[in-house]
Amino acid sequence: MDKLKAKLIELFQSGEITLAIGYKQGTRGPRPFFCRSASDVEQMIFSNDYQPNLAVYLTKKEVVKDEKVAIVCTISALRSIAYLARENQIGQSQYKIIHLSPNDELMIFRSPWDIDPYIEEIPSTPSEDDRRVIEMLDAMTSEERWAWWAAQFSKCIKCYACRAACPMCYCTRCIVDNNRPQWIDPWASPLSNMEWQINRVMHLAGRCVGCGACGAACPEGIPVHLLNRKILDNIEENFGITAGLAPREGAVLNTFKPDDKENFIK
Amino acid sequence: MDTLYIKKSDIPSWWNAIKAAHDHVVAPVRKDKVVEFARVESYEQVATDYIQTTRSAKEVLFPRTERLFSYKKNGRDIEVQDFDPESVPSQVLWHVRPCDAASLFPLDAVFNWDYKDVMYNTRRERTAIVATSCATADEYCFCTSVGGGAGDTRGSDILLTYTADGAIAEVMTEKGKSLVALSQNLFTEYTAGDKDKYVADVPRVFDVEKLKEKMHGMFDSQVWKEQSERCLGCGACAYVCPTCSCFDIQENPKGSCGERLRCWDSCGFAQFTLHTSGHNPRSTQASRWRQRLMHKFSYIPQRQDSLGCTGCGRCSRACPVDMNIKEHLSSIDKIQ
Amino acid sequence: MCNCKDKNIYLPYMMQVEKVTVEAPGVKTLRLKFKNEEDEKSFSFRAGQFAEYSAIGDGECTFCIASPSTRKGYVECTFRQAGRVTSSLSKLEEGDTMGFRGPFGNYFPMEEWKGKNLLFIAGGIALPPMRSVIWTALDEREKYGDVTIVYGAKTVADLVYKNELKEWEDREDVTLITTVDPGGETPEWKGKVGFVPTVVGESPINAENTIAIVCGPPVMIKFTFPVLEKLGFAKENIYTTLENRMKCGVGKCGRCNVGKMYVCKDGPVFTAVDLAELPDDF
Amino acid sequence: MEKKEFEPKIIAFVCNWCTYAGADLTGTSRMKYASNVRVVRFPCTGRIDFMLLLKAFAEGADGIIVSGCHPNDCHYTAGNFHARRRWMVLRGLMDFLGIDIRRIRFSWVSAGEGAKWAQLVNEHVETVRELGPYENYKKAAEYLKEGMYNG
């Protein structure tokens, strides 16, 4: 941590950055911190399991425009940056990407592409709790799962915090913001709440890094990130692409192999 | 106003009498990690182990999604089916917090501002409110800073304050009296006058009168950008807020039939004010955050003699990036 | 003004489309008649007020009432096809049914303008809100002094109400100045070429005892106000009408809120004095 | 009176170049098959957005058929390969949400496989007939019973 702070102070003092996006202590947990001077660096805190995923700010022009930005990344944020770069959403050396590895090693990536070899070593895995819930759901009958999710979605108020917290949900006009056609009813309702989640995770299929920021953001505690996780599992099983590793082959749904194997097209 | 007392052991039978006399009782219920208002069938379902529900009680009067009217097309003709006030059930809102009861003032004001909103008013008329004082509060609560309090009776038909073995019932309105009348024999006079010792102490963090005055001239301040920098632009704060009443009107066509609906909306969304031409009067998150606070603390007070905040702290608890409104307001208060 | 107490304020009157006029590419005028006679009898409005027009099945859209308040029995709206609702409205044919809620908002204080000269300045699709005022004034022509209309559009094709422009041009008691943006003229074009604020500045306009009513895109308003002030207009004699996004029209949905003002209740008609006091949020 | 057998409503989303032509062949060969299917023609299976499937259920379908060209036969080279990946991912997700995926039948039917189309439809109609009407989905669509929805 001290190394991280020292590095940020150095970057501020040398004028290499004007803004460091990191975390500081919030009301109960960490909160995003927009640090603007060497003297404020002291407030910075860090852990690799912090939420939200700070990479979400990198595509917000309003925030990063006219700034020289350093971003303090969790492993999840690193993965997101690698994907964002691959989708041409951030430039080659636009940001100083700073990371503190789980064994407290300070890492600075000169370009998003340099992240690849590092995250290649670390698959994205769900938490124990999440794994348990997924197993519980898998063991249920289809009817039971429907009832379980219906109860969850009944809490949904369509605040779109799941979308807002996701670094990969950067579209300037989301499918739910269009009314011609209006695919998904914009008001809260059992079907549209589910349709919205299906759309969200399908549009993230093969792009999601499994950070869980969507579920963490939900004010109603709906574990929407489990849907993403299920897709990650599904992709690994079907296409052999491990969750959260560098996106070498292009997004899963933008690519194909002639010998993709399924067992249900008859 | 009558101050009465009911023994703890008698509350369930009073509750049952209330339940029997109304179509629904709506009360806080635990659902996994959160506690929410929902229709309950038995007294045991009512949750007790919580500080605050995630959503406010406003949805009882101003539902998430609501039909304004429905229609049927017959050739080139259209037949409309108006909202039917008779379809609105009678209900008791049980165990809302004083901060939720207080939210009725800004809601009443906006829904009756010159034009009367018949859906809201019908629901309001058919809903009786039994609030409960807060015995505990958390660091997000700031009701006392915005003119309320953990034992505030404003907006309640009855306010219950739980003692060790019963509850003090402050009966504020005729509606409240008729609820008591359902089990009149269970109530006795209460004269101890010691309600305050059962009510949480919520420290006051700013003077709202000074704050209102100050914010009046702060439209061009830098503070909005500074505070909103981490805002992600979701609608969580507005949707959990007991006073946020902005809404959207939407169409739900199904072939030749359909309905027009009203649903919650939030000034935090970029689309809220976007014109078809592409012009957006509030194109930045900073301007939208400013609108949220100015509307609550400057515009509503100026126009409707009310305040758009009851200090419940829900927005702060719901925010994915910990935008703590109490902290933000205090820091505005401290600006010289 | 409110005559809908305890009625469902979101329930539209049912209207029959009586006439459809194509004004310009993508711009149409609909003339609407009340289907229910009772509704028609109880209905009245003042020039400048707006309404919510609904294409049942697609939603509502806000436009000013484009017909004059002096002509009873119908209302007209003119709109450009742009989004979902206006596209649906523009598909309506004579005899079809649509919804109408209104009138809402404030109006031009035409009573106060008696004996004064009127200068109308409009750009593009913003002539419709002003047309109601123009015809109301012309229908009671004797009440007012000189009437001058300056109207500009991007191109000659984009000018709306072409027949009425001709009528105004032919009238002895109206001065009409039309202009199109540079490049928008045709070989036959006899009007001026140039942007509205410039044309206003170059025209022989006397600010004395004159009320200026300006309506157009935000950028036109922004550049026209200083020109008028230079010509000697006091801020309180310059009127405009704002078009913010609205849903309810009755001060509840929160969209049109600008500072402490609600465009749907405190507007849409504002003077330059009012606008100067509003925060820059519209 | 004898109780009428349940007649499921089936929506078929098919590719123009193979399955639609195949279904045409079924007809011109005068092969008889169940009449429960409403066919929606698409230029390619790659164009069949997953939302269309959801909307079919929401509008009251009890079953769905999705069919197009066999692998390597796509008129646009690879549309069906893309579609296959999409369905592989979507199917797992739908199952995880408790959507009854037995009601969705995916198939490849070429322009020459008239008989296969008839068999496919008949089989799927029988499958869905046994499953009964898709009540769960229909119930979820009726949420405004009291003129409001609060979850």
**Residue closest to D84 by CA, chosen among D3, D12, D15:** D15
- Going by pLDDT thresholds of 50, 70 and 90, the confidence category of residue C3 is very low
**Shortest Cα–Cα distance, D126 to chain B (Å):** 29
**Residue closest to C240 by CA, chosen among C259, C258, C267, C262:** C267
Confidence check: pLDDT of D115 > 90: yes
pLDDT, position C2: 36
Q: Which contiguous run of DSSP H or E holds residue C199?
A: helix C196-202
Cβ partners under 8 Å of residue D40, min gap 6: D11, D12, D13, D14, D52
Per the CB < 8 Å rule, is B33 touching A221?
Answer: yes
The verdict on residue A265 lying in a domain is: no
Distance of CA D146 to the CA centre of its chain: 33
Confidence check: pLDDT of C5 > 60: no
Out of 2.60.120.920, 3.40.630.30, 2.40.30.10, 3.40.50.10140, the CATH code matching C13-104 is 2.40.30.10
The verdict on residue A261 lying in a domain is: no
Average pLDDT over residues A1-24: 96
One domain for residues A101 and A18: yes
- Going by pLDDT thresholds of 50, 70 and 90, the confidence category of residue D2 is low
D148 touches chain B (CB under 8 A): yes
**Residue closest to C2 by CA, chosen among C34, C47, C44:** C44
| Touching status, chains B and C (3+ beta-carbon pairs under 8 Å) | yes
Q: What is the CATH code of the structural domain delimited by C110-241?
A: 3.40.50.80
**Residue closest to A161 by CA, chosen among A203, A216, A202, A198:** A216
Q: Return the CATH number at D76.
A: 3.40.50
**3-state secondary structure (DSSP) of residue B193:** coil
Over residues A110-151, the pLDDT tens digits come to 999 999 999 999 999 999 999 999 999 999 999 999 999 999
Chain C positions in Cβ-Cβ contact with residue B113 (cut-off 8 Å): 250-252, 265
**Residue closest to A244 by CA, chosen among A50, A26, A79:** A79
Chain B positions in Cβ-Cβ contact with residue A28 (cut-off 8 Å): 139, 322
Q: For A141, name the nearest residue in chain D, comparing CA atoms only.
A: D98
Task: Give the bridge partners for C180, in sequence order.
Answer: C153, C193
**Shortest Cα–Cα distance, D29 to chain A (Å):** 22
Domain of D76 in residue numbering reads as 10-141
Task: Give the bridge partners for C33, in sequence order.
Answer: C16
Task: Give the bridge partners for B128, in sequence order.
Answer: B92
Confidence check: pLDDT of C27 > 50: yes
Q: For A238, name the nearest residue in chain D, comparing CA atoms only.
A: D88
Query: In angstroms, what is the C-alpha Rg of chain C?
Result: 18
- Going by pLDDT thresholds of 50, 70 and 90, the confidence category of residue A192 is very high
One domain for residues A143 and A220: yes
List the single best residue of D59, D89, D90, D99 to mutate versus A (max A Cβ within 10 A).
Answer: D89
Q: Where do we find the tokens 């039309």? A: C178
One domain for residues A161 and A91: no
Q: For A28, name the nearest residue in chain B, comparing CA atoms only.
A: B322
**3-state secondary structure (DSSP) of residue B297:** helix
One domain for residues A144 and A102: no
Chain D positions in Cβ-Cβ contact with residue A265 (cut-off 8 Å): 84, 87, 106-108
- Going by pLDDT thresholds of 50, 70 and 90, the confidence category of residue C1 is very low
Q: For C265, name the nearest residue in chain B, comparing CA atoms only.
A: B114
- Name residue B306's amino acid: S
* Bridge-based pairing state of the strands B166-171 and B158-162: antiparallel
**Phi, psi at B331, each rounded to 5°:** -70, -30
Domain of A189 in residue numbering reads as 128-254
**Phi, psi at A202, each rounded to 5°:** -70, -40
Q: How far apart are CA B150 and CA B5, in angstroms?
A: 19
Chain B positions in Cβ-Cβ contact with residue C281 (cut-off 8 Å): 219, 281-282, 287, 291
Q: How far apart are CA C138 and CA B28, in angstroms?
A: 63
**Shortest Cα–Cα distance, D2 to chain B (Å):** 32
Chain C positions in Cβ-Cβ contact with residue B69 (cut-off 8 Å): 8, 10-11
- Going by pLDDT thresholds of 50, 70 and 90, the confidence category of residue A246 is confident
**Residue closest to C78 by CA, chosen among C190, C197, C215:** C215
Q: Which residue has the higher pLDDT, A87 or D145?
A: A87
Q: For A146, name the nearest residue in chain D, comparing CA atoms only.
A: D98
Q: DSSP assignment, residue D35?
A: S
Taking CA atoms, A65 is separated from A31, A259, B231, C124, in Å, by 21, 45, 16, 35
The verdict on residue D47 lying in a domain is: yes
Q: How far apart are CA A217 and CA A214, in angstroms?
A: 5
List subunits contacting chain A, requiring 3 or more Cβ pairs under 8 Å. Answer: B, C, D
Confidence check: pLDDT of A42 > 60: yes
A61 touches chain D (CB under 8 A): no
A258 touches chain D (CB under 8 A): yes
Residue ranges, chain B, pLDDT below 70: none
Q: How far apart are CA A131 and CA B72, in angstroms?
A: 49
Taking CA atoms, A145 is separated from A133, A151, C147, in Å, by 11, 10, 72
* Among B32, B64, B317, beta carbon nearest to A157: B64
Chain C positions in Cβ-Cβ contact with residue B58 (cut-off 8 Å): none
Over residues C185-225, the pLDDT tens digits come to 999 999 999 999 999 998 888 899 999 999 998 889 989 99
List subunits contacting chain B, requiring 3 or more Cβ pairs under 8 Å. Answer: A, C, D
**Residue closest to D140 by CA, chosen among B250, A151, A219:** A151
Asked whether C242 and C270 are in contact (CB, 8 A), the reply is: yes
**Shortest Cα–Cα distance, B21 to chain D (Å):** 19
The verdict on residue D137 lying in a domain is: yes
pLDDT, position C189: 92
ipTM of model over 0.90: yes
Per the CB < 8 Å rule, is D94 touching A190?
Answer: no
**3-state secondary structure (DSSP) of residue C189:** coil
Asked whether B263 and B247 are in contact (CB, 8 A), the reply is: yes
B74 touches chain D (CB under 8 A): no
One domain for residues A24 and A103: yes
The verdict on residue A99 lying in a domain is: yes
Q: How far apart are CA C191 and CA C156, in angstroms?
A: 9
Q: Where do we find the tokens 């149409």? A: C28
The verdict on residue D5 lying in a domain is: no
Taking CA atoms, B203 is separated from A26, A149, B97, B142, D115, in Å, by 19, 40, 17, 7, 79
Asked whether C122 and C150 are in contact (CB, 8 A), the reply is: yes
- Domain's final residue, options A120, A150, A181: A120
**Residue closest to A72 by CA, chosen among A3, A145, A140, A136:** A3
Q: Which structure tokens are listed for D5?
A: 């057998």
B83 touches chain D (CB under 8 A): yes
Taking CA atoms, A155 is separated from B26, B250, B314, C146, D149, in Å, by 15, 21, 15, 63, 11
Count the domains in chain A: 2
pLDDT, position B1: 85
**Shortest Cα–Cα distance, D45 to chain A (Å):** 13
Confidence check: pLDDT of C4 > 70: no
- Name residue A112's amino acid: P
pTM, two decimals, is: 0.95
Average pLDDT over residues A212-235: 97
List the single best residue of B66, B70, B117, B260 to mutate versus D (max D Cβ within 10 A).
Answer: B66
The verdict on residue A229 lying in a domain is: yes
| Helix pair angle (A225-239, A190-204), 10° resolution | 40
A150 touches chain D (CB under 8 A): yes
pLDDT, position D1: 53
Q: Is A15 left (phi over 0), alpha (psi -120 to 50) or beta?
A: left
Q: Which structure tokens are listed for B228?
A: 């909103």
Q: Which of C216-225, D3-12, D71-80 is modeled with the greatest confidence?
A: D71-80
Chain B positions in Cβ-Cβ contact with residue C257 (cut-off 8 Å): 291, 295, 299
D98 touches chain A (CB under 8 A): yes
Count the domains in chain D: 1
One domain for residues A132 and A116: no
pLDDT, position A167: 97
The verdict on residue D150 lying in a domain is: no
pLDDT, position A93: 80
Confidence check: pLDDT of D93 > 70: yes
One domain for residues A72 and A133: no
Per the CB < 8 Å rule, is B73 touching C254?
Answer: no
Per the CB < 8 Å rule, is B140 touching A216?
Answer: no
**3-state secondary structure (DSSP) of residue D31:** coil
**Phi, psi at B196, each rounded to 5°:** -55, -30
pLDDT, position D3: 64
- Going by pLDDT thresholds of 50, 70 and 90, the confidence category of residue A5 is very high
Whole-number average pLDDT of chain C: 93
B113 touches chain C (CB under 8 A): yes
Structural domain spans, chain C: 13-104, 110-241
Q: How far apart are CA A230 and CA D98, in angstroms?
A: 13
